Amino acid sequence: MTEFNQDTHILRNFFLHIPLFRSLGGAPTEMEELIRSSEMRMVRRGEFLFRRGDASDRIYIVHSGEIGIYQGEKLIALQRRGSICGEVSLLSGSGHSSSARAMFDCSVVVIPGESFVRLIESVPSVGRELIRILSERFRGTLDAPADLHPGRICSVSYPEQEERSGRMVFSLALAVREEGQRVVILTLNESSPLIFEKDRNLIEQLQGPESGRSSDLPVILNLEPLLVDGQEEQLRLNLHDLLSGLRRTFDLVLVDLANRPSPAAQAMLDDADESLVFYRKERPAASAGRAIRETNADRRQKPGELPVFQGWRLDPVVNGATRRLARQLLQSSRGLCLGGGGARALAHAGCLDVFEQEGLEFDAVSGSSMGAVIGALYALQLPAKEIRKLIGRYLFHSDAILDKRLPFVSFFGGHRLADLLRSVFRGIRIEDMPLPFFCNAADLKSGQMVMFDSGWLDFALRCTVSLPGIYPPVEWNGRTLVDGSVMNNLPGEILRQNGLSHVVGINVSPVADPLSARTGVNRREGLKGVYRFVNLPPILKIVNRSISVANRELLKFRLNDFDFLLNPDVGSFDLFDFHRQREILHAGYEEANRQLNGLREALRLPAGEQRNGTARGSG
């Protein structure tokens, strides 16, 4: 901490306006003694007032800014202007039970412990007020939510055309509103259309009580007229207080910045949790913030791009890409994990159909085995109808992916499967896909799981579908890779590790599986049953079922990876029943519809959220 210039007038005025010391207006001697013993200090963002276990010999009162109280890494309280910190440890004579860290640049009043205790003894009204404050704080902890989530701050600039940043901010704010979250826009950009008189009047009209759309529009605050020349440090503190207050009310604070440097703009950049810099032609320097290229709205999204451009004088379109960015800023991104199960994994496509109809969007995908194949199609942002069409074209029967060989390593050679994957996914690299995508494989040599998050997509999928006994392992970089389901058939933890806040899993490994347990010919099928017994011998299903049973037991220990788990009823389908795809798709469709309300609750979505039920292949 660095000392901040004391000002007796500021301290006296501050003390008289906070409840703890208000009664000192009638005790001038004690007030003067308090002022003499107190000092004002500046605490920089991220700096600690004290840490858990530190000795306590003083108290702190927040003059401006915001102090976070932490138990370990968990934020448990926010102390703002007039709040007192460290008093319980001082009065109990123990070390601090928590840590206090500045959320912004702050100013605090530091009062030595001896002076504070003498004041309580000499002015009983101060002691009574302290008891009231402590009682209210204790009662507040009983009613407090389990997790404290103050709103986040994001600055936005568009150096190539300053006017454009205001339009971008407004579209982002609308996307946040579509997610059911609260957002406020601060503009420090005199070129922004948000502060032009005619545009501001239009916004005020739309937000008026007579407008049915008022709840859909963000709040806009123009700070330009308020930032008159003055003391730079005081300006920063005032802005910190403003942001602290806004974070209590709003889930996201979007700041529209001009490209010209100013003390106010620098203060906003310093306080922002994330800074976005948009461009169309020349990529800005990495130090400026997270660079995002605005591309035409009809283009498919690539990493680092936002396909929302309709024209310089038109607002960016609000589409799936805009909403995904909004969820990233809100730290509420959603991941989808699809488990393997052979033909049963086609049920995933039925679930995707419901998600699309209901406007449920996901921001990253992981999968294992055949679930990874369906997940890859979704990560390419193909509409559900197109996914079903591809399934019908390429996976119409098990013969499409099974080519017999001498069963020394596996029963089937895997050449048809590899050809199919190349036909669908040729030339696509995982790192270039519209959505982040992950699939796993198991290395027989090391016994470790291998996760693919880059490289050629068709190769990664060939590795993750190498079911032992059915397809041969893939030799790669000194590894011998088999199906990812051998180690984890539902790899949701990779989504958590990559920052996804909510993860939904779809499990297609049934609890009971009498078909896989059958060891003889199905006599009811006659010659067809004999043919299936010879061409798809029970050993294949027995091996796969054994892996599946082990994975279901392991899944019990991985349930914390998921906010919600769907289990389509696929127990009546065989591992190789690709010819029954219509029935399997329907099983997924039925499960997703049945669990829709629970899924919405787990994702914290408003009931009945739907965006016209339109497919979003380009979003």
- Give the pLDDT confidence of 31-75 residue by residue, as tens digits: 999 999 999 999 998 999 999 999 999 999 999 889 999 988 888
Question: 616 falls in which pLDDT band (50, 70, 90)?
Answer: very low
pTM of the model: 0.79
Q: Describe the crossing of helices 162-178 and 320-330 by its angle, rounded to 10 degrees.
A: 80
Q: Which of 98, 369, 398, 485 is catalytic?
A: 369
Evaluated on CA atoms 192, 197, 198, 201, the torsion sign reads: positive
Cα(18)–Cα(132) distance, integer angstroms? 13
Question: 365 falls in which pLDDT band (50, 70, 90)?
Answer: very high
Q: What is the pLDDT of residue 248?
A: 84
The total number of residues shown for the chain amounts to 619
pLDDT at 136 over 50: yes
How many other CB atoms sit within 10 Å of the CB of residue 378? 25
369 in active site: yes
Range with the largest mean pLDDT of 129-143, 156-170, 553-567, 601-615: 156-170
Q: What is the pLDDT of residue 533?
A: 55
Higher-pLDDT residue of 91, 462? 462
pLDDT at 574 over 70: yes
> For the residues 122-150, what does the mean pLDDT come to?
75
What domains are there in the chain, each with its CATH number?
Answer: 3-143 (2.60.120.10), 152-280+312-322 (no CATH), 333-512+547-603 (3.40.1090.10)
Closest of 269, 337, 222, 332 to residue 105, by C-alpha? 269
Alpha helices in 250-296 (DSSP H): 263-271
Burial of 528 (0-12, 13-18, 19+ CB in 10 A): exposed
Q: What is the pLDDT of residue 433?
A: 96
pLDDT at 612 over 60: no
Higher-pLDDT residue of 576, 591? 591
Range with the largest mean pLDDT of 19-23, 131-135, 149-153, 433-437: 433-437
Candidate from 104-108, 381-385, 545-549 with smallest mean pLDDT = 545-549
pLDDT at 316 over 50: yes
Q: Describe the crossing of helices 384-394 and 347-357 by its angle, rounded to 10 degrees.
A: 160
CA 156-62-16 angle, to 5 degrees, is: 125
Burial of 494 (0-12, 13-18, 19+ CB in 10 A): buried
> For the residues 387-406, what does the mean pLDDT come to?
86
Higher-pLDDT residue of 466, 146? 466
> For the residues 147-164, what does the mean pLDDT come to?
88
Q: What is the pLDDT of residue 576?
A: 82
Task: Show the tokens assigned to 320.
Answer: 């799936």
> For the residues 411-418, what does the mean pLDDT come to?
86
Cα(476)–Cα(466) distance, integer angstroms? 13
Q: What is the pLDDT of residue 614?
A: 33
pLDDT at 572 over 90: no
Cα(41)–Cα(63) distance, integer angstroms? 9
DSSP state of 606: P
CB contact at 8 A, 313 and 166: no
pLDDT at 215 over 60: no
Evaluated on CA atoms 587, 370, 444, 469, the torsion sign reads: positive
Mean pLDDT of all residues belonging to the chain: 84
Task: Show the tokens assigned to 276.
Answer: 């976005």
Candidate from 82-96, 285-299, 502-516 with smallest mean pLDDT = 502-516
pLDDT at 208 over 60: no
Within its chain, how far is the Cα of 266 from the centroid? 27
Cα(119)–Cα(132) distance, integer angstroms? 16
Q: Which of 251, 256, 483, 577 is catalytic?
A: 483
Closest of 69, 332, 278 to residue 159, by C-alpha? 278
Q: What is the pLDDT of residue 198?
A: 45
pLDDT at 398 over 60: yes
